[in-house]
């Protein structure tokens, strides 16, 4: 009897879980950002350097940010369609983005890590293309 009840509960939960995913799929993807949030992209040509090493360093700098930054934001590393490397950050607001930029520029370890990423690509941090978009 207990085995049958557990089997029934498992079936109901599995069905519910499947149907919830199905409903999300029907609704489409969620927006990338909410109105007022800031999206920052970092892009750099790494064709003259070691892109694999640069990507590992980007992952390390993101882990450092998550652990040490007093301003919380999300970040994802990636490669662009032209094989350049970089990351995308999402900030809660323009104020939070500016606070994160201040923290980055005043944090020596973060600055050194950013320099190491650029060096791995055979470029300088000035060669990074940084774009900022405010979500509407």
CA terminus-to-terminus distance, the chain? 56
- pTM score, two decimals? 0.77
Q: Give the Cα separation of 112 and 108 in Å (integer).
A: 6
Band (pLDDT 50/70/90 cuts) for residue 26 is low
Domain residue limits, the chain: 1-30, 38-134
The 10s digit of each residue's pLDDT in 44-77 is: 999 999 999 999 999 999 999 999 999 999 999 9
38-134 CATH fold: Alpha-Beta Plaits (3.30.70)
- Which contiguous run of DSSP H or E holds residue 80? none
Q: What tens digit of pLDDT does each residue of 76-113 get? A: 999 999 999 999 999 999 999 999 999 999 999 999 99
């Amino acid at each position: 009897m207990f085995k049958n009840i557990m089997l029934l509960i498992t079936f109901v939960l599995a069905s519910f879980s499947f149907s919830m995913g199905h409903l999300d799929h029907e609704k489409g993807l969620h927006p990338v950002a909410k109105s007022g949030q800031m999206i920052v992209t970092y892009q750099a040509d790494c064709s003259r350097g070691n892109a694999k090493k640069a990507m590992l360093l980007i992952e390390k700098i993101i882990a450092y940010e998550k652990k040490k930054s007093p301003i919380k934001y999300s970040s994802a590393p990636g490669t662009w369609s032209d094989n350049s490397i970089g990351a995308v950050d999402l900030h809660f607001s323009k104020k939070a983005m500016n606070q994160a930029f201040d923290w980055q520029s005043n944090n020596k370890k973060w600055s050194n890590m950013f320099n190491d990423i650029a060096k791995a690509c055979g470029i300088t941090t000035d060669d990074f293309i940084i774009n900022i978009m405010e979500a509407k």
